Structure 1
Amino acid sequence: MGFVLQPFNAWPTGVAARAGFGMVVVYAGNADRRVCHHESATYHALAQRLAFIKGYEFAGEFDSSCAYPGTLYFVPSDTFVTLEAAHRLGVRGDQDLFGGVVPFPFIATKTITHPLCDAGAQAPEGWSRALAQRLQDVVLPGFSAFSVEDARKAGSILLEQGAVRLKLANGIGGLGQWVAADEDELDARLKDLDAEEVARFGMVLERNLADVATLSVGQVRVDDLLASYCGTQQLTVNNAGQEVYGGSRLIVARGDFDALLELDLEPGMRTAIAQACRYHAAVMQSFPDMFASRCNYDVAQGVDDGGSRYSGVLEQSWRVGGASAAEIAAFGAFRADPSLNAVCALTSETYGDGAPVPDDADVYFRGVDERVGPLTKYARLEPYADA
């Protein structure tokens, strides 16, 4: 168990890189999104740890002009949004990357979660109306929209039952969201949006909840290792005074969700797992060509304006995410100790100078980012009490 609580620079050297056998590379393939310094540093740090777990060499950023010896394993900054883009790089299955591949761009965003407001609403290429029917029992009441006018219609329908949360499809970490309590606030929020951006990326409007707990449910596969997890997210305040993602605390089990459900979990967590599994199955049924080695689902549980309690999947992630450092740390522990079946894995993102760091933390970024300012990001592991 000593390995479990060690930072990366103290990991044992029992799994040595096999020269020429394989290389792990970071791939920044989304030209639409400018990657921050702290994000780039995170991708490189996590790729380095994955290389250790796989027994591969870490080769840094992918260079298309380079002739790499051996097998390549990709750690992309974003989900591959066309099969062709992935296939050109040799990514043809979930053993080729840490993340996922989808056939159409909208599938990689939160717009996949909800239906359109009516039959005449704008929709992107590849849109599946059948998916909305499969998901309706496991998501919050809401709509996806690809025009400002459709968003106004969707918002008006939802306002009949209470406040509405508006979310841009390309917003991450809790940013790009607003709440409208009435038609005037809805119009004011929509007026400020870029119509071309809404048409290109889409947005989501859904029932706003109070007293919200955001849970994470996921599954990750690397080589012969499969792990399933559930946990909670926490918010923090960034250097601009905004509430944003601040970390996750996960219970990670070796194996499929059956292994996770054998643990002593609260009823709300079991509900979230069931909803995430149904969401995953529905998406895979609707888009059978897609695949992913890393699947994460955010589930919100809270109360609406009328006092009704809801639980529903908010969105999915098939790429490196906020919880990935915890996932990979757990994999390191499972690889080092074959008898270990469960562990608690934590991530923390703290803004400002002088953030305290536990002695057993694995720090994967500590510095001043050009966009978000001073930030410290780390992961750590704790023994699971019922393991």
Structure 2
Amino acid sequence: MHHTREPKAAVVLLDNREHTPDHEHAVHLKLADCLAQLLGIERQEPPPSSQPREAIYYVPTQTLIDPTRYQPRGIETEDDLFGGLVSQPFMATKAISHPLPAGAACPPGWTDAFAQHASDALLRGYTVFAREDARRAVALLLREGKVRIKPVRACAGRGQQVISDLQALEPILAAMDEQALGLWGLVLEEDLSAVETFSVGQARVAGLTLSYHGTQQLTRDHDGNDVYGGSDLVFVRGDYLQLLQLPLEDPVRLAINQAMRYEQAAERYFPGFIASRRNYDVARGLDSRGHLRSGVLEQSWRIGGASSAEVLALLAFAANPALQALRASTHEVFGACTLPADATLFYQGDDCELGQLSKYARIRDHDRRE
């Protein structure tokens, strides 16, 4: 049960990352401004100490880890932040998306019950926290086909490698820091071809719950790499069950059901887990034998690439109580860019790391059917 709490007085961006590039910091500030507008309060720089802790609504840049660290700041329920809070480091990453190989080492708080409960929603793979366990797990997976090696703290698919024999694993393991591997883990997963990635998510702010599904696009960065280029999303007012009322193609319906299954496992097996922003990447593709596979790759319980569309959708639903569904999109464009007339700009500039870059979001069309 929610106990009655004082209304929030200010929104504060909580940058809890080791390094945040300029373009991302600008987006985070704009997201915090939109959330402040939604909540009808102002955004402040880190709060004056006179402000009672319960009066702050936080926008963390990463999933928060360890509730005991954040309770003194007043972060106790999903109404206190846009993002999520977990009790152990591995719970904030894609490490939870696979079970351990039998008898493997694991960090405090690990439970195999999560992967057992969510098994229908997962691809074939293992998570490991030690080099020897990685060798055993890769040997098992190679019987089925190629294996994708995924560092759990990299995002946008960076740092991943696909191997087809055990020898190829050794240089990857040699380059890894043993302590980091023991804390965060490494994901080893069946490699799929012809992959489509669906996004399924939910945002809960100011008494509103929105749920969505959509797809991601890739774009080329200035170095010619394929990177995240935006998302095209369909939002509904309400929870995932409302989303399932839409006319959906079977792969999308399966992706939503798999995201729900994954989230239910987290709520059941991760004590202290709270999240007001939930996003799941669900991949669908062909395994080495040509069979169709679908599974949740990872969760994002923090602001992410789709959040600019999420906050615009929240504002649109808040402004029009009759609105039941809408389409929104996010866009990341490298190089010169002419903004569409209906774009809300989140960043435009010459970033010192990525070069000329524009990030914007659009509300595409409102569905006014009652």
Q: Aligning the two structures, in what range does the TM-score lie when normalised by the shorter sequence?
A: over 0.9
Counterparts of 1:175 and 1:238, CA distance in 2? 13
Deviations 1:290-345 (A, max 9, x none): 11111111100000121011000011011001111111111111011111110001
**Deviation string, structure 1 residues 12-59 (Cα, Å, up to 9, x no partner):** xxxxxxxx96100100124xx311111111110000000001101111
| 1:359 paired residue number | 341
Aligned partners of 1:27 and 1:82: how far apart in 2? 15
Q: What is the rounded CA distance, in whole Å, between the counterparts of 1:133 and 1:217 in structure 2?
A: 21
The structure 1 residue matched to 2:198, chosen from 215, 230, 250, is 215
SS in 2 for 1:174: coil
Aligned partner letter, 2:84:
G
Map 1:191-202; keep pairs closer than 5 Å.
191-202=174-185
Listed one character per residue, the Cα deviations across residues 80-114 of structure 1 (whole Å, up to 9, x for unaligned) are 10001220210110000000111111100110111
Match of residue 374, structure 1, among 307, 331, 356: 356
1:266 aligns with 2:249: yes
Partner of residue 10, structure 2 = 23
Residue type of the alignment partner of 2:43: F
SS of the aligned residue for 1:271 comes to: helix
Are 1:78 and 2:62 an aligned pair?
Answer: yes
Listed as ranges, the gaps of 5+ residues in structure 1 are 1-19
Q: Percent identity between the aligned chains? A: 43
Residue in 1 that maps onto 2:186: 203
Residue 126 of structure 2 corresponds to 143
Deviation at 1:79, TM superposition (A): 0.9
What residue identity is the alignment partner of 1:88? P
Match of 1:105 in 2: 89
How far apart, CA to CA, are the structure 1 residues paired with 2:102 and 2:354? Answer: 39
Partner of 1:117, secondary structure, is coil
- Determine the structure 2 residue equivalent to 1:307: 290
TM-score normalized by the length of structure 2:
0.94
Number of equivalent positions: 362
What is the TM-score of this pair, normalised by structure 1? Answer: 0.90
Q: Matches of 1:385 and 1:89 in 2, distance apart?
A: 40
Question: CA 1:386/1:113 → structure 2, altered by over 3 Å: closer, same or farther?
Answer: farther
Per the TM alignment, residue 228 of structure 1 is displaced from its structure 2 partner at its CA by 0.5
Residues 301, 309 of structure 1: 8 Å contact kept: yes
Q: 1:386: Cα distance to partner?
A: 8.1
1:93 to 66, 73, 77: 77
8 A Cα contact 1:211 1:302, kept in partner: yes
Per mean C-alpha deviation after superposition, the further-off stretch among 145-154 and 288-297 is 145-154
Distance 2:256 2:8 in 1: 37
Asked whether the equivalents of residues 24 and 74 of structure 1 are also in contact (C-alpha less than 8 Å), the reply is yes
Query: Does 2:26 align with 1:41?
Result: yes
Q: CA deviation at 1:192?
A: 3.1
CA distance in 2, matches of 1:222, 1:231: 20
Task: Identify which range, 361-370 or 208-217, moves more after superposition.
Answer: 361-370
Q: Pick the aligned partner of 1:292 from 267, 270, 275.
A: 275
Determine the C-alpha separation between the residues in 2 that align with 1:284 and 1:72: 25
Rounded Cα–Cα distance in structure 1 between residues aligned with 2:224 and 2:177: 24
Q: Deviations over 1:173-196 (max 9, x none)?
A: 221211112223233433333333
Say whether 1:171 aligns with 2:158.
no
Give the RMSD, CA atoms, in angstroms.
Answer: 1.7
